[in-house]
Amino acid sequence: METQTSTTTWVIDPTHSEVQFKVKHLMVSTVTGLFSQYEGQLEMAGDDFEDATITFSADVASISTGNEQRDGHLKSADFFDAEQFPKLTFTSTGMKKTGTDTYELNGDLTMHGVTKPVSLKAEYGGQMQDFYGQTKAGFEVVGVLKRKEFGLTWDGVTEAGGVVVSDDVRLIMNIQVTKQA
């Protein structure tokens, strides 16, 4: 007799999550930005996050760095081209436990019409029931992406020959997910 494995689904709670990125400007300071509109979920057998299947998408038009002019430039064809490529998506290809509360999260990131494999680090923050009886879990996901690999190749060079925007983009996501009944 075969044993059926139940599937557990967790959905991102955007009111208790943050999706940020950091990039060096002029190689002397860091600009922080975020996406305010996104969604995602984890599906797994039982209650073990290892080998969970994760999907995530963010609306490029929701990008914000706290500066309207810079945000407009980031949404333009020079960078994300939000009109032609309105979504940034991630689909996991594996989530492997690397320690008690740490994971290596691998997947395919599609940005600006280019899909590339990426490897991110995820730290599990635990589980808790909220005031409404919902089970919540938290993760911090971090990694470094090379923006030029995704076709975000705009470059500016100062008169002195300095790079305006770094190729390395640090991703920092603090994600709270809600277990679905």
- Per-residue pLDDT tens digits for 11-67: 999 999 999 998 877 666 788 999 999 999 999 987 779 889 999 999 999 999 999
Residue range of the domain that includes 30:
25-179
**Structural domain count, the chain:** 1
| 66 occurs within a structural domain | yes
- CA 151, CA 112: separation in Å to the nearest integer? 6
Q: Tell me the residue ranges of DSSP E strands in 46-101.
A: 53-59, 63-64, 87-97
| 6 occurs within a structural domain | no
The DSSP code for 5 is P
DSSP-based helix, strand, coil % in the chain, nearest 5: 10, 55, 35
CATH number (domain holding residue 116): 2.40.128.110
pTM over 0.85: yes
What's the pLDDT tens digit per position in 102-148? 999 999 999 999 999 999 999 999 999 999 999 999 999 999 998 88
- CA 12, CA 158: separation in Å to the nearest integer? 41
- In Å, how far are 4, 40, 57, 75, 107 from 90, measured between CA atoms? 28, 9, 6, 19, 7
Tokens of 150: 């995704």
| 68 occurs within a structural domain | yes
| 5 occurs within a structural domain | no
| 44 occurs within a structural domain | yes
| 15 occurs within a structural domain | no
| 170 occurs within a structural domain | yes
| 46 occurs within a structural domain | yes
Share of the chain above pLDDT 90, in %: 69
pLDDT value, residue 166: 75
